[in-house]
Amino acid sequence: MTLFSELSALAEEGRPFVLATVIASHGSTPQKPGSKMAVLEGGALRGTIGGGAIEKQIIDAALQLLADASAQTRTLDTHLTHDLGMCCGGRMTVFLEKHATAPSLYVFGAGHVAKEVAALASHVGFRVSVIDERAEWLTAERFPTATRRPEPPEVVAKALAGGADVYACVVTHDHPLDQACVEALLRKPLAWLGVIGSRRKAERFRQRLEASGFDEQAVRRFESPMGVDINALTPKEIAVSIVARLIEVRRKDSPR
């Protein structure tokens, strides 16, 4: 498998990595411009830029870049003898570029709003999964860019592991089913949880959750009504408001 094939597979799996590329060299160096190496979380490698002290320096810098949410790139200019004690005597400039995993969006329900949310969220970089046991709604024609899961939404919600890059949007066809999904999802670590509905519906949900034993902090974790307030009316407009909110949460720590 070529390096580019391996990088494509990593991106498909959603595994973050830093791509290190030699962009300049002078004198005697282990690799020349164009040489590439990918550094994964934990220090696993794909490819090489020469081994030895220079490669270790690049690996350490790449791991620091992966851990820094505010940084995307870095350039290292190193004299192999003066800086690292290598006998080569040359100089290498290496450009580091972070390729972060795409955030996951789980859409519970496959109705009209879900269809538009899935399409738009996929378009702006989310890996979307849509969950609905109604086969006639969960079709490839309606959700061509999403992973389709024909399962009971509340079962998937209970089994979901969650994570810092996991978002959940509850838009099922049934209020009790929405409630069951929310009760399960509130127990998970999520970047964001939103539930479709009016303010009246949201308040009833919160009252039931408190009666079920959830504390006030947990009850306030989900957003409902969800989305940016743009007076949205149609499913497409509602999807714009919801995905705008997803982007806002996703980019909250990004430098402006």
Q: Which domains does the chain have, with CATH numbers?
A: 3-99 (no CATH), 104-250 (3.40.50.720)
Q: Supply the pTM of this predicted model.
A: 0.71
Contact at 8 Å (CB) between 103 and 165? yes
Share of the chain above pLDDT 90, in %: 41
Give the confidence band of 170 by pLDDT, cuts at 50, 70, 90.
Answer: very high
- Is pLDDT above 60 for 83? no
Please, what is the average pLDDT of the chain? 86
Bridge-partner residues for 147, per DSSP?
A: 129
pLDDT at 139 (0 to 100): 96
